């Protein structure tokens, strides 16, 4: 009898969790991923790992990855709150406060990568999950925190309106979670020789699929699963040698391809797609996303350098707090990313000030060459003056 006709998910297969993959198929995407990582390392080396530009890039990677991993779960985080939390975690003085759930997420991300050499344990996983939900709620719903799910109700991933629900995945019953996690952790913590020297990038792909298949918590599994990817990548010996384990996080890329991410992950969990626990398709897709993540990191590297140069060129410029706030927002928006350009009205709303004060501030920023302007009168628009940004202007800057 065909196993796929009687069983639906990979965890139900008699051979689970002994998944396998075809290294002949993976050879090319794996080589491509390693080559892209090498190019990223070369660029980082050329810039200089200890330079202000690279330090700024590291900060922004943390910020953007925290925002992205939350956004994948439809959770919107305030960028200023995240940046403040990251800055404090990196040891920079920052008197601004940030919500506990933001601090919790940043703390988890740092622990997974900065302490990647420490064993991954049940206690550590539970502390991570508790940090994501410090109040014990997911939205308006009270959830179990700091412990694995124990409900007798099935853990399902469902979409669709009431009465028209579509079940995408059914996780193992709660009674099996501890046993499943212990097997996973034994594999994850095993030395390379006991795992037949699985390539570190392939290992990260397997770890994510395996953890998401168990789905041990009532909520937070996606964020923790992606943190496990970060931890696995930080443990990769080749990445450690290159010195770029902190620049290879995937959440931004996964967010950009969120539907495909869910579709490929769900397909890998179904026996109709992997009758003999062959996960080659999933690992191939994962490696391709890693290539995209490297390319995105290069782009962010360029932006970070340009932003750092902007602030460096204004080290002696006296900006008031309102001006700094707006300049930072324009920098965060990126090259041409501030839709419609900045106007005096927008400035006034962003800084909660009067139109007259906004006009004076903007005029001052023009004189200090922090902004460019185009248009006249009420149609005047302002752009951040960053060297290397080719912002699309219908009228040349004044």
Report strand pairing: 166-170 vs 371-374: unpaired
- Pull the structure tokens for residue 170: 């059914």
The pLDDT of residue 344 is: 93
Which domains are delineated in the chain? 3-306 (1.10.3290.10), 317-384 (1.10.10.10)
Q: Do the beta carbons of residue 59 and residue 88 sit within 8 Å? A: no
- CA dist 346 and 76 (Å) reads 22
- CA dist 264 and 394 (Å) reads 42
From first to last of its 398 residues, the chain has per-residue pLDDT tens of 344 446 799 999 999 999 999 999 999 999 999 999 998 888 787 777 666 667 777 788 889 999 999 999 999 999 989 999 998 888 887 667 899 999 999 999 999 999 999 999 999 999 999 999 999 998 888 999 999 999 888 888 887 767 777 888 899 999 999 999 999 999 999 987 776 678 999 999 999 999 999 999 999 999 999 999 999 999 998 888 777 767 777 899 999 999 999 999 999 999 876 668 999 999 999 999 999 999 888 877 777 778 778 888 999 999 999 999 999 889 888 887 787 889 999 999 999 999 999 999 999 999 999 999 988 888 889 999 987 776 655 444 44
- CA dist 294 and 243 (Å) reads 14
- CA dist 270 and 343 (Å) reads 52
The pLDDT of residue 274 is: 61
Q: Evaluate the CA torsion angle 282, 288, 292, 298 in order and state its sign.
A: positive
The pLDDT of residue 129 is: 98
DSSP-based three-state secondary structure for 9: strand
Q: Write phi, then psi, for 69 (nearest 5 degrees).
A: -65, -30
Q: For residue 70, give every residue at least 6 positions away whose Cβ sits within 8 Å of its Cβ, in sequence order, or none.
A: 76, 77, 105, 223
Which residue, among 133, 145, 157, 234, has the nearest Cα to 188 in the 3D structure? 234
User: How far is residue 201 CA from its own chain's centroid?
Assistant: 17
Q: Is 211 exposed, middle or buried (0-12, 13-18, 19+ CB in 10 A)?
A: buried
The pLDDT of residue 52 is: 66
Terminal-residue alpha carbon distance, the chain:
76
The pLDDT of residue 4 is: 41
Tokens 């967010």, residue located: 255
Q: For residue 368, give every residue at least 6 positions away whose Cβ sits within 8 Å of its Cβ, in sequence order, or none.
A: 314, 317, 319
The pLDDT of residue 396 is: 41
The pLDDT of residue 50 is: 67
The pLDDT of residue 196 is: 64
Tokens 């993959």, residue located: 21
């Amino acid at each position: 009898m065909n196993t796929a006709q009687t069983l639906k998910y990979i965890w139900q297969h008699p051979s689970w969790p002994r998944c396998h993959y075809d290294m002949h198929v993976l050879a090319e995407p794996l080589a491509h991923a390693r080559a892209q990582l090498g190019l990223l390392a070369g660029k980082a080396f050329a810039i200089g790992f200890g330079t202000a530009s690279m330090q700024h890039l590291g900060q922004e990677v943390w910020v953007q990855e925290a925002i992205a991993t939350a956004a994948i779960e439809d959770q919107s985080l305030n960028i200023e709150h995240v940046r403040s939390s990251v800055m404090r975690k990196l040891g920079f003085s920052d008197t601004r406060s940030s919500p506990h759930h933001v601090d919790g997420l940043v703390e988890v991300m740092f622990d997974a990568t900065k302490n990647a050499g420490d064993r991954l344990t049940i206690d550590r996983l539970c502390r991570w999950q508790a940090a994501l939900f410090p109040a014990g709620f997911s939205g308006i719903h009270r959830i179990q925190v700091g412990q694995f799910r124990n409900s007798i109700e099935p853990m399902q991933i469902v979409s669709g309106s009431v009465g028209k629900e579509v079940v995408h995945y059914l996780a193992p019953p709660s009674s099996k979670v501890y046993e499943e996690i212990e097997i996973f952790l034994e594999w994850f913590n095993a030395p390379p020789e006991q795992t037949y020297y699985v390539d570190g990038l392939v290992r990260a792909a397997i770890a994510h699929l395996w953890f998401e298949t168990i789905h041990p918590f009532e909520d937070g599994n996606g964020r923790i699963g992606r943190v496990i990817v970060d931890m696995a990548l930080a443990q990769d010996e080749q990445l450690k040698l290159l010195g770029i384990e902190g620049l290879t996080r995937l959440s931004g890329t996964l967010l950009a391809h969120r539907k495909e991410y869910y579709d490929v992950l769900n397909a890998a969990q179904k026996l109709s797609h992997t009758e003999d626990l062959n996960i080659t398709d999933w690992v191939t897709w994962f490696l391709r996303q890693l290539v995209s993540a490297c390319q995105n990191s290069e782009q962010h590297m360029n932006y970070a350098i340009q932003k750092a140069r902007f602030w460096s060129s204004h080290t002696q410029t006296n900006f008031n707090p309102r001006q700094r706030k707006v300049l930072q927002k324009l920098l965060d928006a990126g090259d041409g990313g501030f839709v419609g350009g900045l106007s005096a009205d927008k400035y006034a709303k962003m800084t909660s000030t009067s139109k007259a004060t906004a006009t004076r501030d903007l005029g001052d920023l023009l004189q200090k060459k922090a902004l460019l302007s185009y248009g006249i009168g009420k149609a005047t628009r302002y752009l951040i003056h960053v060297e290397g940004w080719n912002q699309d202007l219908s009228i040349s800057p004044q």
